[in-house]
Amino acid sequence: MNNTKNVSRNTLKKNSDATLIVTKSVERTEVIFKKKLEKVNEILSKTVFKK
C-alpha cells in the first residue's frame, strides 16, 4: 500500500515537473515571439508598401 502511495506520489511529481518545464518553455517561446513581433512592427512602421 505504502509502495503504491510512493509510486503515485513520484508519478505525480514527475508529471508536475514535466508540466512545469513545458509551461516554462511555452512562456519563454512567447517572450521570444513577442520580441520578434516588436521588431517586425518597428520595421513595418517604416515600410513603404508595394501597391
Partner 1 sequence: MSAEPYKYNQTDTIRYTFISNGKKGAINKLVEFSETSQKGIFNFGFGDLNFDGTIDDIANSNNGDLVGVLSTIVHILIDFTNQHKEYNIVFTGSTLQRTKIYQQILKRHYTNFSKVFFITGLTQMNDERYFEEDFDPNTLNTYIAFFIKRKS
Instruction: State yes or no: residue 37 binds partner 1 (CB under 8 A).
Output: yes
# of chain residues touching partner 1 (CB under 8 A): 23
Coil, helix or strand at residue 27: helix
Which stretch of DSSP H or E encloses residue 9?
helix 2-45
Instruction: State yes or no: residue 28 binds partner 1 (CB under 8 A).
Output: yes
Give the span between the Cα atoms of 23 and 32, in whole angstroms.
Answer: 14
Q: Which is nearer to partner 1, 12 or 17 (CB)?
A: 17
Query: By the criterion CB under 8 A, which residues form the site for partner 1?
Result: 18, 21-22, 24-26, 28-29, 32-33, 36-37, 39-41, 43-50
